[in-house]
Amino acid sequence: MSITPLMPVYPRCGVRPVEGDNCHLIDEDGTRYLDFAAGIAVNLLGHSHPGLIGAIQEQAAKLMHVSNLYGSPQGEELAQKLVDTTFADTVFFTNSGAEAVECAIKTARAYHQHAGDENKFELITFNNAFHGRTMATISASNQEKMHKGFNPLLPGFKYVDFNDLEGAKAAIGPNTAGFLVEPIQGEGGIRPATPEFLQGLRQLCDEHDLMLVLDEVQCGVARTGTFYAYEQYGIEPDIVASAKGIGGGFPLGACLATEKAARGMVIGTHGSTYGGNPLAMAAGMAVMNTVANDEFLGQVRAKGERLRARLEQFIGNYPDLFESVRGAGLMLGIKMKVEPRPFMVHLRDNHQLLTVAAGDSTLRLLPPLVIEDAEMDEFIEKLSAGAADFEVPTGS
C-alpha cells in the first residue's frame, strides 16, 4: 500500500509544528518560525492567548457538546453579541467556513423560494473567488482546478469578473437570487472589491429584490481593522458567511442574516449536529470579547498602516521582485513580479518566516492580530534577508 494514512490531498511541507508560542510556531525538531500565516487568518489572537485558552479549558471541563434539540444559553449569548456588533438580526453557527457559505447559499435561495418564487435559485459569483471545498462551494467558484474530478457541479451559479459592475448587472436574469462575493478576495490574491463595485451590487440588490451575500470567512472578524470588512464600504449586506478567525483556532463558523433575508430559514430547514456547541461558543465568546471593541480594532488599523508603510518602503529596494502592496488592516498582500510560491518556500525554509502564497502572483501576509513592534521588526528583518539572498528560479 502506498497511500498515506492522512489522505494525500495537501502538498504538505517539511514544517511540522508541535507547539505555538504567541506569534511563533515551534517545529518537532525545535525550529522556531515567525507565523505570518496564522493558520490562514485563523489564529488571530496568536497561539498562547490566555483568555482564549482559559475559556476553552473552563468550558471543556463543564460541558462540551449537547444537541441543538435543547436550549442553548451559550449560543444565545454569542449570537446576541454578533447581532449587537453587526448588521445581522440572526445567526446560524457552523463548524467551518464552507458550511457557513452553504448556509448562506441556502438562506439566499430560501428567501425567494419560501415566498413562492421557485425559479430564483441562481447566485452570481466572481472569477477567482474561493468559497470552500464542498460541492456547493466549489460550484460557486469558477476555478477549474477545484472542479476537476468532481463533476457534475451543482447548478445555480454564474461567474462574472470581480469588480466588473456592468458585467454583474448584465448577468441578472429571471433565475437570479443574489450575489455571493468576498469583499477582499483572499485565495484570489488579496484583491479588494472597489467601493463602487460593492456599493453598486448593493444598489442592484435593492432594485431587483436580490440577496447581497458576503463571504467574509477570510477578511472578517477584525482582520481588516473593522469587525467585518463591509463596514469600510458604507453598505450593509443581507447575509454574511464568517469563520476562520471567529473561533481563534477552534473550529467555528457562522452565517449571519437580517430578519428579512432569513425569512425562509424556519424550523426544520437547516441544522448541524456540532454547530454552536458550548465549547465552540466559549471560544467564539473569548474572541469576540477581545476583538469586538474600538480599542482593539483601532490597534489593528494602526498596526496595518505601520506594516504597510514599512512594506511599501521595503519593496522599492527590489523592483525586480515586487510590484505593489495591497489589502486592508492586517490582511496584506505583496503582488510579485515572479511566482510567489518559490519565494514563500525560501522565506520558510531559509529564514523561518511563514507566509502564504495566493492567486494573482501574490504573497499573503496574515499575521496574528496581536503582533507587536517586536514581531513586526523581526518580520521585516527576515523578509529583507530573504529578498537579499533569493535566487529567482529559472523559468519563473
Q: Does 126 bind ligand PLP (CB under 6 A)?
A: no
Q: Does 365 bind ligand PLP (CB under 6 A)?
A: no
The residues that bridge with 84 in the sheet, in sequence order, are none
Whether residue 96 is annotated as binding a ligand: the answer is no
Q: Given candidates 98, 140, 300, 387, which one binds ligand PLP under the rule CB under 6 A?
A: 98
**Torsion angle of C-alpha atoms 106, 109, 111, 114, degrees rounded to 10:** -100
Whether residue 264 is annotated as binding a ligand: the answer is no
Residue of closest CB approach to ligand PLP:
97
Instruction: Let me know: does 276 contact 93? Beta carbons within 8 Å.
Output: yes
Count the residues in the chain: 396
Q: Does 35 bind ligand PLP (CB under 6 A)?
A: no
Q: Given candidates 176, 218, 258, 299, which one binds ligand PLP under the rule CB under 6 A?
A: 218
Q: Does 359 bind ligand PLP (CB under 6 A)?
A: no
Count residues near ligand PLP (CB under 6 A). 15
Closest distance to ligand PLP from the beta carbon of 130 (Å): 5
Closest distance to ligand PLP from the beta carbon of 325 (Å): 20
The residues that bridge with 35 in the sheet, in sequence order, are 354
Whether residue 98 is annotated as binding a ligand: the answer is yes
Of the ranges 107-115, 128-136, 170-178, 291-299, which one interacts with ligand PLP (CB under 6 A)? Answer: 128-136
The nearer residue to ligand PLP, 244 or 308, going by C-beta atoms, is 244
Closest distance to ligand PLP from the beta carbon of 249 (Å): 12
Query: To 5 degrees, how large is the angle CA 299–CA 305–CA 310?
Result: 130
Closest distance to ligand PLP from the beta carbon of 132 (Å): 4
Of the ranges 138-146, 213-221, 328-336, 367-375, which one interacts with ligand PLP (CB under 6 A)? Answer: 213-221
Closest distance to ligand PLP from the beta carbon of 243 (Å): 5
Whether residue 299 is annotated as binding a ligand: the answer is no
The nearer residue to ligand PLP, 103 or 235, going by C-beta atoms, is 103
Q: Does 128 bind ligand PLP (CB under 6 A)?
A: no
Q: Given candidates 35, 102, 122, 215, which one binds ligand PLP under the rule CB under 6 A?
A: 215
Instruction: Kindly identify the residues of this chain, within the stretch 227-256, that bind ligand PLP according to CB under 6 A.
Output: 243-244
Query: Binding string, 58-97, against ligand PLP, x = CB under 6 A?
Result: --------------------------------------xx
Show the 3-state SS of the chain. Answer: CCCCCCCCCCCCCCCCEEEEECCEEEECCCCEEEECCHHHHCCCCCCCCHHHHHHHHHHHHHCCCCCCCCCCHHHHHHHHHHHHHCCCCEEEEECCHHHHHHHHHHHHHHHHHCCCCCCCCEEEEECCCCCCCCHHHHHCCCCHHHHCCCCCCCCCEEEECCCCHHHHHHHCCCCEEEEEECCEECCCCCEECCHHHHHHHHHHHHHHCCEEEEECCCCCCCCCCCCCHHHHHCCCCCEEEECHHHHECECCEEEEECCCCCCCCCCCCCCCCCCCCHHHHHHHHHHHHHHCCHHHHHHHHHHHHHHHHHHHHHHCCCCCCEEEEEEECCEEEEEECCCHHHHHHHHHHHHCEECEEECCCEEEECCCCCCCHHHHHHHHHHHHHHHHCCCCCCCC
The nearer residue to ligand PLP, 315 or 366, going by C-beta atoms, is 366
Q: Given candidates 131, 326, 348, 351, which one binds ligand PLP under the rule CB under 6 A?
A: 131
Instruction: Kindly identify the residues of this chain, within the stretch 133-192, that bind ligand PLP according to CB under 6 A.
Output: 182, 186-187
* Antiparallel, parallel or unpaired: β 176-181 and 122-126: parallel
Whether residue 194 is annotated as binding a ligand: the answer is no
The nearer residue to ligand PLP, 229 or 387, going by C-beta atoms, is 229
Whether residue 273 is annotated as binding a ligand: the answer is yes
Q: Does 364 bind ligand PLP (CB under 6 A)?
A: no
Q: Which residues bind ligand PLP (CB under 6 A)?
A: 96-98, 101, 130-132, 182, 186-187, 215, 217-218, 243-244
